């Protein structure tokens, strides 16, 4: 088992092992992972779905200067059968709609609230039945039919394509979704950490990110 410990956003669950299968990965909400690093968790690389948390760690002297390595886009998802007959984000305004989103402080949750504010759809937050701690949990709830719709990253749809349908969102509402990574100052394996970062930025790493649906900076 590799000694290298990678703490990474849940939305990177499929693509990072495709870049390098050897490290020990811990995937989860970027905010939760950053908190663990603050508390002394032994992470060699931290990859966040939002610049916010990597920059906070850097400001506190807990990681190297973050670098943007990927971008993403938000989409609306519904269960494959679409029982609520949702065809647009504006359908979320209908009474009785059950919406699943990320919690406040979680990147997908913050991006979702930004999107709704831009589209003047803040009122649909009254239809939220569940605030999840990472994007994979939003996808899972919609795939299981526990909500009528959810807002997730485009890259999270493909692994669940048999269970959910994707609906595009207006470009005018899209937030700027940037992924950043850094090397924690308390890392245990600096050479391996630096090598992993090089892999992510390599031609092969960028090709894997692009194949998974991520944008490249």
- Please report the DSSP string for 117-160 in residue order: HHTT-GGGGGGEEEEESSHHHHHHHHHTTSSSEEEEEGGGTGGG
pTM: 0.90
Q: Is 201 helix (H, G, I), strand (E, B) or coil?
A: helix
Same domain, 107 and 182: no
> Is 217 domain-assigned?
no
In angstroms, how far is CA 200 from the centroid of its own chain? 17
Residue-range definition of the domain harbouring residue 161: 74-173
78 shares its domain with 64? no
**What is the per-residue pLDDT across 62-91, written as a single tens digit (0 to 9) for each?**
999 999 999 999 999 999 999 999 999 999
Residues of the chain scoring pLDDT < 50: none
- Say whether 101 sits in a helix, a strand or coil: strand
């Amino acid at each position: 088992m590799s000694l290298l410990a990678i703490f990474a956003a849940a939305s990177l669950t499929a693509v990072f092992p495709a870049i390098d299968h050897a490290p020990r990965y811990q995937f989860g909400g970027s905010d939760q992972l950053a908190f663990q690093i603050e508390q002394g968790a032994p992470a060699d690389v931290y990859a966040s779905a939002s610049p916010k948390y990597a920059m906070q760690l850097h400001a506190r002297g807990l990681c190297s200067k973050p670098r943007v390595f990927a971008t993403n886009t938000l989409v609306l998802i519904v269960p494959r059968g679409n029982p609520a007959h949702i065809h647009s984000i504006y359908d979320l305004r209908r009474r009785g709609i059950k919406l699943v989103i990320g919690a406040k402080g979680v990147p997908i949750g913050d991006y979702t609230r930004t999107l709704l504010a831009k589209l003047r759809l803040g009122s649909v937050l009254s239809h939220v039945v569940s605030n999840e701690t990472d994007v994979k949990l939003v996808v899972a709830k919609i795939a299981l039919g526990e909500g009528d719709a959810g807002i997730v990253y485009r890259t999270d749809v493909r692994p669940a394509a048999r269970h959910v349908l994707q609906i595009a969102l207006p470009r005018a509402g899209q937030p700027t979704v940037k992924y950043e990574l850094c090397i924690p100052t308390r890392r245990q394996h600096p050479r391996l950490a630096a090598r992993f970062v090089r892999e992510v930025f390599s031609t092969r790493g960028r090709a894997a990110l692009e194949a998974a649906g991520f944008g490249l900076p």
